[in-house]
């Protein structure tokens, strides 16, 4: 317990940690929902393409579908990345005494930045 208090004093305070934790949880809920909904959209798209069996190379319609599908896929990937980053941050906030410290320069990441971007690993200077 004592060790934990000392560790907590090094990074963010317990109150700050609590605020960041709740920001993380609400961002994570949003990211998980977005990833799930984009996943469903992508699945529907793939299914629709399979049903119509359009020729991607020769049918101009097919090219549009392929483009839309690639776009949907990259949005899905981004959503999954966001969700993973938030899950990682949530695991770190309880276990890592360096939480809130920049991974590049080891200086304290500002509380405002942590509340706005709770999964960030870099301070505002290093993120530039």
Q: Interface with Zn ion by CB under 5 A: which residues? A: 102, 104-105, 123, 126
Decide whether 30 or 92 has the Cβ nearer to Zn ion. Answer: 92
In the complex, minimum distance from the CB of residue 98 to Zn ion, in angstroms, rounded to a whole number: 12
Structure tokens at 60: 């101009």
Decide whether 74 or 103 has the Cβ nearer to Zn ion. Answer: 103
Decide whether 71 or 110 has the Cβ nearer to Zn ion. Answer: 110
- Could you give the CA distance from residue 121 to residue 104 in angstroms, rounded to a whole number? 8
Q: What is the CA radius of gyration of the chain?
A: 20
Secondary structure (3-state) at 101: strand
In the complex, minimum distance from the CB of residue 106 to Zn ion, in angstroms, rounded to a whole number: 7
Give the N- to C-terminal CA distance of the chain in Å, as an integer.
37
In the complex, minimum distance from the CB of residue 102 to Zn ion, in angstroms, rounded to a whole number: 3
Structure tokens at 22: 């709740």
């Amino acid at each position: 317990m004592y060790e934990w208090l000392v560790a907590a004093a090094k990074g963010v305070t317990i109150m700050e940690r609590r605020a960041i934790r709740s920001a993380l949880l609400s961002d994570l809920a949003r990211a998980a929902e977005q990833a799930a909904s984009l996943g469903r959209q992508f699945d529907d798209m793939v299914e629709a393409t399979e049903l119509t069996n359009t020729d991607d190379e020769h049918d101009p319609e097919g090219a549009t579908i392929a483009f839309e599908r690639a776009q949907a896929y990259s949005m899905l990937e981004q959503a999954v990345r966001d969700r993973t980053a938030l899950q990682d941050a949530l695991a770190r906030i309880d276990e890592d005494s360096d939480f809130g410290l920049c991974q590049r320069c080891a200086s304290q990441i500002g509380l405002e930045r942590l509340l706005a971007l709770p999964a960030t690993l870099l301070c505002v200077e290093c993120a530039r």
